[in-house]
Amino acid sequence: MNKVLVTGCSGFIGFHLCLDLLKKNIKVFGIDSINSYYSTKLKLDRLKILKQHKNFKFSKGNIINLKFVENIFKKNNFKIVFHLASQPGVMYSYINPKAYTDNNIKATENLAKLSNKYYVEKFIFTSSSSVYGDKKNFPIQENTLLKPKNYYAKTKIKCEKILTKIFYKKNKNTLIITRPFTVYGSYGRPDMLFIQAVNKLKKNQTIPIYNNGEYERDFTYVKDVTKVLVILSKYKKKNKITVNICGAKPIKIINFIKKIINLENFNLLNLIKFYPKRKGEMLKTFGSNTFLKKLTKVRKFTGYDKGLRETFSWYKNYKHKKYLY
């Protein structure tokens, strides 16, 4: 495989993807703006690990800057682009929608144009399961009608459409749109449920549980997600596909929290407080991975107990926990 481009390389999933690619001796060029949505120290810690690999090169910058990105394309012959850079978070999209317009929509449009101009053969985009919105029928298939409930999800749908219109050329290149479901794992963002819960448990602080704990999520372990992305990079057909990435085993938030509590016999007393559901959040996510299994031949996904144990082991050994608050 030729050198690949990974946007958002110091982000949560991007970091793990780069590690998987580098372990296979694939040359990786990473781009990241290292913005301050959460601790830049955590992002720099991830980046420090990546820079230990001789096959990794990095350039700091925002793909909103067309000249910056084009300069990178001119100097490299990318055949594959993994586009993970985006503004994450559902609730923050109500506070700062411009960040989502710029970092999701405009940035993707720039990348689509340059990938087309410089003859990228395969573009793999990380969208989101949030594009589906609330559903009554489960598991959710890839061809399900999209009904986004928040602006973050709307920008992801817009990105999918931009890539289809600007980059994809039937029978000439490949566009793979992935929709991961609620990813968790080591080096996760501070606003993610696992990190928030453990931080509060360690300090004997109350964990807020919304919708009275009845939300259900199809949590997917980050190593499963990146394993799938690497396999998809070997997809040979020149067409467009959309695929869910999920374990297809939803769990109620309250039960997920209980599994975290059981990791180290945390004191449960008075540490959980229930609240009503929040604006823009889906009641349940439960994706179908039938197409994913057929496409990738991946049959097993990491169970919650194993995934949480590994994540908690990382948390306990991570030297810079202050970056996780």
Active centre residues (catalytic): 152
Q: Structure tokens of 73?
A: 């394309």
Q: Hey, which residues does 178 pair with through a beta bridge?
A: 126, 243
Nearest to 37 by CA among 184, 192, 149, 205: 192
Q: Structure tokens of 313?
A: 């082991």
Number of H helices and number of E strands within the chain? 12, 13
CA distance 40 to 270: 33
The DSSP output letter for 6 is: E
- The secondary element (H helix, E strand) that includes residue 252 is strand 251-252
Coil, strand or helix at 221: strand
The DSSP output letter for 238 is: S
CA distance 257 to 239: 41
Q: Hey, which residues does 5 pair with through a beta bridge?
A: 29, 81
- Report CA torsion sign: 249, 81, 8, 110: negative
Q: Structure tokens of 171?
A: 């029978």
Look up residue 219 and give its amino acid.
Answer: F
